[in-house]
Chains A and B, each alone.
Chain A
């Protein structure tokens, strides 16, 4: 925790990272009105690890995630998923990458309201027209305790259940990385805890890679590692965080 910069630099090495960015820069507008959201960020995320990205509002944490996930493009620098450089991909190729190699859990509005829970879970695979790995599907559904909710429409599910369905959707294609954008942001503390445990077990038991943007120290404490962003740059890093160490770091950075 005293050598965050060193750790970050180490991540420039591609070995063992599921996703990484190199000198990532993202700005909006130009000239005097230019707003820089990411200012030369280089960071990697280990495969099979649970990483949280934290930072105050406007720190660029969501932008970083969007650019790594192929939902947005960098102004300069590189973003990789595995060895794939996102900048070389067309819009269509990025779409297919999201479909086949990434999983997403958003804060709200995660599910297509006209589809059942099961159909929502299999949506990316169905869009690809591929065959479903039934065994893996059952494992994911069982882990997330969704077995008796599969025929329900989103409107018939509670907020926590909806988020679990989203997690299941993210996991069911065995993606390289699951990106979570404040996945617990709209949940109360009990359901929030539940969901974080599921994400944790996805990493521990199912060997998945999770990268989660959050501003909740409790949520961050479930991660293996926390990356802190401020004003578009990485300012600190924590390994094996607890709620208290995260709060402490945030407090320190806030000063």
Chain B
């Protein structure tokens, strides 16, 4: 049986190729995702390990809480604490270090801005023993107020060498330094993609706005003293709110935080991998169905000469197993390549991820093989089981296999599921904020499509059957209707991809409209400053300070963000100054008065106020990561939280008292009366000329930029789903080829009685187009419904409008039809070359 299975595999190379390709893409996606995230976490591990090398104990402020939103922000420590630590017995050397915002400019004065990674200013280690992996590739450590060492990656990018001048932007203004050293970090050139400008400690303190303080104290233990012992001894000497950890603990904590962040990223990619696999399994299921149908006579013959049903089943399962293994192996290799591809894709949109040699963990290999084999075998089992039911007498009959009818149970179940799914989506759209139900309803709807697919295929065929007699449409329709299950399964592979793409397109369009609405509704500002790069942490507060002196401006209102917990749950708070706020934004005060908003109070979004049961005058606890619990009084509740980006608005004074970073996320400006908009814009641009990472936009430009970002996300998602669509196309090709092979005689007959080659090609092509359109129509319909429900589910996340991008969806339909035409090229040619004589003579 094994021998027979292998032989039959090799006999059909094209089919083998198409089937393998279908699984390979899915497996490649899974393994690529794992390899990418493993590589990234390995890079971060190496980084943290390198950074804490040589440090036995680290002393730092205790965080009130720490999670992915706080980004490890900590209160600086008083410098005097370094002496305290140094005096603890067992300490060989202790030294304070600090980091902050420093944006390195290239030789043209443009910022060197990595995608998502921070732009760091840091103190260098004065002591070799605590330098960790930090090493000088060139030059020497900086010393004094005008010397800097740059990380090797930034130096290489901008072409800086030792002895040259470099401009650097800090929170307060821009300064010029001499490059005296180029720093590497062990093997790598940068800290996980971050740029770094390093200064001596005193200079760093002054430049980073941390005079008299340090962020962390690194300690090396004397010989014979263990890190744990020393940690406990130091902890005993520390004041309240300051903690001591071993170097290993710090590294593990850092790695864990990164892993948590990567987990989300990995899960998103795995969803796409899942979509590809689902599509792949449809293609395989289909292939095996056809394969079994084609081999009915062969199987019947085997049964007639005495093969048992388990032997027949086993034979087909072995075929599936081999295909699964081969595909998984190929997919695994392709996945390693794909990991690089995804990284490039992310880099292309400005998200640079750290890298090191590709990490292929055993888990990846196991997952790839398992997924490939299991998906293939599972998809093949049902058709294989069907094959065992072939009666031995069928060996003697000659007939084109025709799949059975559609039972009443299947009809009913399919329609019920489909209606239930759609009803669920409608309910979600009406009620709003039901992301989970939206997902479930979409899946139920899809299950309905799978079950009632053959019915839909038949319906589609019935429509096309109205075409001219003898015309391509009618003949194509009849072929679709002849094997509605196969046609449906082929189309459904395309449905999956298009459902997701359409849902995302609707959500993206709604988001874009909402963005415009937000600006149109609540914005009163005339100009807005934003960081020029999307990944940047923020802008120097110095920029806003420059603007306060301008006569052309009436109000300058900065907005800063920080993670914080409100009533125990993690969120973001925004800090804005009291002065000028009404001039730049109409918050839509619902209750209370903006006049009561002052230091010690906050503005609360209406929905949140309702949820907490709070009214103006009530107290609320906000927990800042650095400083812990702060009691604030609700001054007023407001409707338009989307305009400021958070439902928790605190005064800038309170914000600054609790958050060390002073970077502005946005600065809203309004013109002085009588100042023209061009005039004001020119004045503002001139004033912030020293801050090249600041972009001055008017509200329309801002909206467009934000919308462009949404489009970019849509582009990435579409690109990732493209693979699923490619698999679906392979499925169409596969089905068509098999269908042509099955119909050799029929096609030959048609040629004999006068069908031209072109007419034969047309029939096959239209068959392909019909299947593509079926897949596209169902996918777009379900996806649009899901997208509407999803948009309404994101109402609380600021998606307040609903927009169905009819043009885009119509484009998908056209593309699907084109895909159908393209997929048919090979099979159609094959069909038109059928040997007429062989087809009509009895063998």
Q: Taking beta carbons and an 8 Å cutoff, which residues of A are in contact with B?
A: 62, 66, 71-72, 91-92, 95-96, 98-100, 104, 106-115, 119, 122-129, 155, 169, 181-182, 185-186
Chain B residues, CB < 8 A from A99: 753-755
Pick the interface stretch among B42-50, B351-359, B467-475, B536-544.
B467-475
B752 within 8 A of A: yes
Interface readout for B342-373 with A: 1 if CB under 8 Å, 0 if not?
A: 00000000000000000000000000000000
Report yes or no: A113 in contact with B754, Cβ–Cβ below 8 A: no
Which of B470, B751, B839 touches A129 (beta carbons < 8 Å)? B470
A-B contact number at CB 8 A: 88
A99-B754, A127-B754 given as contacts; is B470 within 8 A of A114 (CB)? no
Task: List the A side residues contacting B750 at CB < 8 Å.
Answer: 112, 123, 127
Task: Check: B462 CB closer than 8 A to any chain A CB.
Answer: no
Give the residues in chain B near A72, CB-CB below 8 Å. 837
Q: Quick check: A123 and B752 within 8 Å, CB to CB?
A: no
Chain B, residues 466-504, CB within 8 Å of chain A (1/0): the string is 001111000100110110000000000000000000000
Question: Which chain B residue shows the least CB distance to A106?
Answer: B840
CA gap between A122 and B468 in the complex, in Å: 12
Question: Nearest chain-A residue to B746 (Cβ)?
Answer: A112
The answer to whether A113 touches B400 (Cβ under 8 A) is yes
Given contact pairs A124-B753, A127-B759, A113 touches B746 in the complex (Cβ within 8 A): yes
Least Cβ–Cβ distance between A115 and chain B, in angstroms? 7
Closest 4 CB pairs of A and B: A126-B470, A99-B754, A114-B478, A126-B469
Assess the A109–B478 pair: CB atoms within 8 A: no
Give chain B nearest CB distance to A226 CB in angstroms.
22
B754: nearest chain-A partner, CB-CB: A99
25 A-B contact pairs sorted by A residue (CB < 8 Å)? A62-B841, A71-B840, A92-B756, A92-B757, A95-B751, A95-B754, A99-B753, A104-B752, A104-B753, A106-B749, A106-B840, A109-B746, A110-B749, A111-B749, A112-B475, A113-B746, A114-B478, A114-B479, A123-B750, A124-B753, A124-B754, A127-B754, A127-B756, A129-B470, A181-B840
Cβ-defined partner of B754 (8 Å) among A66, A96, A110, A115: A96
Counting chain B residues whose Cβ lies within 8 A of the other chain, the interface size class is 20 to 34
CA distance A60 to B15 in the complex (A): 38
Q: Which of A96, A98, A125 has the most CB of B within 10 A?
A: A98
Assess whether B420 is interfacial by the CB under 8 Å rule.
Answer: no
Q: Which of B757, B837, B839 contacts A95 (CB 8 A)?
A: B757
Q: Which residues of A contact B469 (CB under 8 A)?
A: 119, 122, 126
- B839 proximity list for chain A (CB < 8 A): 109
Chain B residues within an 8 Å CB radius of A181:
840-841
Given contacts A99-B755, A113-B482, A126-B470, 12 further A-B contacts (CB under 8 A): A71-B752, A71-B836, A72-B837, A95-B751, A104-B840, A106-B749, A109-B839, A114-B478, A126-B471, A127-B755, A128-B470, A181-B840
B296 within 8 A of A: no
Bound-state CA distance A162–B749 (Å) is 14
A108, B842: Cβ atoms closer than 8 Å: yes
Q: What's the least CB distance linking B429 to chain A, in Å? A: 41
Contacting pair B842 A107 (CB below 8 A):
yes
- Specify which chain A residues have a CB less than 8 angstroms from the CB of B754 in the assembled complex: 95-96, 98-100, 124, 127-128
Give CA–CA (A100, B751) in the complex, Å: 13
How many Å from the CB of B192 to the closest CB on chain A?
62
| Cα–Cα, bound, A129→B482 (Å) | 24
Contact indicator A185/B746 (Cβ below 8 Å): no
Is A129 a contact partner of B468 (Cβ separation < 8 A)?
yes
Check A122 against B475 for contact (C-beta < 8 Å). no
CA distance A254 to B225 in the complex (A): 114
Complex Cα distance, B756 from A96, in Å, reads 7
Measured CA separation A119–B481 after assembly (Å): 16
Task: Report how far A127 CA is from B757 CA in the complex, Å.
Answer: 12
B75 at the interface (CB under 8 A from A): no
A124, B471: Cα distance in complex, Å? 11
For the complex, what is the distance from the CA of A251 to the CA of B134, rounded to whole Å? 106
In chain A, what residue has the closest Cβ to B839? A109
Q: Which residues of A contact B478 (CB under 8 A)?
A: 114-115
Query: Closest Cβ of chain A: how far from B585's Cβ, in Å?
Result: 67
| Chain B residue nearest in CB terms to A114 | B478
Q: Are B842 and A185 in contact (CB under 8 A)?
A: yes
Cβ of B745 within 8 Å of any chain A Cβ, yes or no, is: yes
Neighbouring A residues of B753 by C-beta, 8 Å:
98-99, 104, 123-124, 127, 169
Q: In the complex, which residues of chain B have a beta carbon less than 8 angstroms from the beta carbon of A155?
A: 402
Q: Mark B746-777, 1 if CB is under 8 A from A, else 0.
A: 10011111111101000000000000000000
